[in-house]
Chains A and B, each alone.
Chain A
Amino acid sequence: MVNLENQIFSSYQRNPVLFDEIFDERGQVKEVYSKLFNLYGEHSINDYVNLNEKAKSSFFNQGITFQVYDKKKTQEKIFPFDLFPRIIPPEEWKIIESGAIQRSRALNLFLWDIYHDKKIIKQGIVPMELISSSANYLDQMNNVDPPGGIYNHISGTDVIKHTDGQYYVLEDNIRCPSGVSYVICNRTALKRALFGVFNHYKTYSVTNYAENLLDLLETVKPKGVDVPNVVVITPGMFNSAFYEHSYLAKTMGVELVEGRDLFVENDFVYMKTIQGPQKVDVIYRRIDDAFIDPLEFRPDSSLGVPGLFAAYKKGNVTLANAPGTGVADDKAVYTYMPEIIRYYLNEEPILNNVHTYHCSRPKELKYVLNNIENLVIKPVDEAGGYGISIGNRLSKKEIEVVKAQILLSPRKYVAQPIMSLSVHPTYIDKSESFEQRHVDLRTFTVLGKDKEFVLKGGLTRVALKRGNLIVNSSQGGGSKDTWVLKT
Chain B
Amino acid sequence: MPLEYSITYKAENTYEEWVYEAYWQFLVIPEENESQQFIGVNFTNTINANNEFSINGHGFKTIRVHPKQKFNEIGFEANFKLIKKEINPFDFKPEEDISRSYEKIQELDFKVDYEAFLRTTHFTHIPEQKTPLFQFDLAKSIFDNIQKLNEYTYGYIHFNADATDVQTTLDEVLKIRQGVCQDFTHLFCALARMNGIPARYVSGYLHQGNGYFGDSQMHAWAEAFIPHVGWLGFDPTNNILAGTNHIKVAHGKDYSDCSPLKGVVYTAGKNETVHSVQVSSQNQQ
Q: Which residues of A contact B (CB under 8 A)?
A: 118, 121-122, 124, 128, 131-132, 138-140, 142, 263-267, 294-296, 299, 306-307, 309-310, 313-314
Contact = CB atoms under 8 A, between A and B. Distances in A.
A265 B52 contact: yes
Interface of B: 23, 25, 50, 52, 54-58, 62, 64, 66, 108-109, 111-113, 115-116, 118-119, 253, 262, 264
A138 B109 CA distance: 19
A31 B253 CA distance: 61
B97 to A, nearest CB: 24
Nearest to B58: A140
Given A295-B23, A310-B54, A313-B55, A139 B253 contact: yes
Contacts of A313: 55, 57
Nearest to B57: A140
Contacts of B55: 310, 313-314
Interface centre among A128, A132, A267, A295, by most chain B C-beta atoms within 10 angstroms, is A295
A265 B66 CA distance: 8
Interface centre among B57, B118, B119, B264, by most chain A C-beta atoms within 10 angstroms, is B57
Nearest to A141: B57
Contacts of B57: 138-140, 296, 309-310, 313
Contacts of B50: 265
Contacts of B25: 295, 306-307
Given A128-B111, A128-B115, A310 B56 contact: yes
Nearest to B118: A132
A139 B254 CA distance: 13
B23 A139 contact: no
B112 A299 contact: no
A139 B58 contact: yes
A128 B54 contact: no
Contacts of A267: 52, 54
A266 B109 contact: no
Given A263-B66, A266-B52, A118 B112 contact: yes
3 closest A-B pairs by CB: A140-B57, A306-B23, A310-B54
A299 B66 contact: no
Contacts of A138: 57
A310 B58 CA distance: 10
Interface centre among B23, B113, B118, by most chain A C-beta atoms within 10 angstroms, is B23
A295 B264 CA distance: 7
24 contacts: A118-B112, A118-B113, A128-B112, A128-B115, A132-B115, A132-B118, A132-B119, A138-B57, A139-B116, A139-B253, A142-B116, A264-B66, A266-B54, A267-B54, A294-B23, A294-B262, A295-B25, A295-B264, A296-B57, A299-B262, A307-B25, A307-B66, A310-B55, A313-B57
A264 B52 CA distance: 10
Contacts of A310: 54-57, 62
Given A263-B66, A313-B57, A306 B115 contact: no
A313 B57 CA distance: 7
Contacts of B108: 121-122, 124, 128
B122 to A, nearest CB: 11
A279 to B, nearest CB: 16
A116 to B, nearest CB: 12
A266 B62 CA distance: 12
A295 B23 CA distance: 8
Contacts of A128: 108, 111-112, 115
B23 A122 contact: no
A92 B54 CA distance: 51
Contacts of A266: 52, 54
A122 B119 contact: no
Given A128-B115, A263-B66, A294-B262, 17 more contacts: A118-B112, A121-B112, A122-B108, A124-B108, A128-B112, A132-B118, A132-B119, A265-B50, A265-B66, A295-B56, A296-B56, A296-B57, A306-B23, A306-B264, A307-B25, A310-B62, A313-B55
B261 to A, nearest CB: 11
Contacts of A306: 23, 25, 66, 264
Given A265-B66, A299-B262, A307-B23, A122 B109 contact: yes
Nearest to B113: A118
Interface centre among A118, A294, A307, by most chain B C-beta atoms within 10 angstroms, is A307
A122 B112 contact: yes
A39 B69 CA distance: 67
A306 B65 CA distance: 11
A310 B54 CA distance: 7
Contacts of A307: 23, 25, 54, 64, 66
A235 to B, nearest CB: 16
Nearest to A311: B54
Contacts of A265: 50, 52, 66
Nearest to B110: A122
B13 to A, nearest CB: 16
Contacts of B66: 263-265, 306-307
A152 B52 CA distance: 31
Contacts of B253: 139
A18 B64 CA distance: 61
A294 B116 CA distance: 21
A263 B56 CA distance: 16
A138 B118 CA distance: 15
A128 B107 CA distance: 12
B51 to A, nearest CB: 11
Contacts of A139: 57-58, 116, 253
A313 B60 CA distance: 12
Nearest to B55: A310
Interface centre among B108, B113, B264, by most chain A C-beta atoms within 10 angstroms, is B264
Contacts of B119: 132
A121 B52 CA distance: 39
A287 to B, nearest CB: 15
A450 B133 CA distance: 55
Contacts of A264: 66
Nearest to A309: B57
A4 B32 CA distance: 82
Nearest to A123: B108
B211 to A, nearest CB: 36
Contacts of B262: 294-295, 299
B264 A299 contact: yes
B272 to A, nearest CB: 18
A132 B62 CA distance: 27
A296 B23 CA distance: 12
Interface centre among A139, A140, A263, A266, by most chain B C-beta atoms within 10 angstroms, is A139
A33 B78 CA distance: 74
B106 to A, nearest CB: 13
B220 to A, nearest CB: 19
A264 B25 CA distance: 12
Contacts of B113: 118
Contacts of A132: 115, 118-119
A248 to B, nearest CB: 28
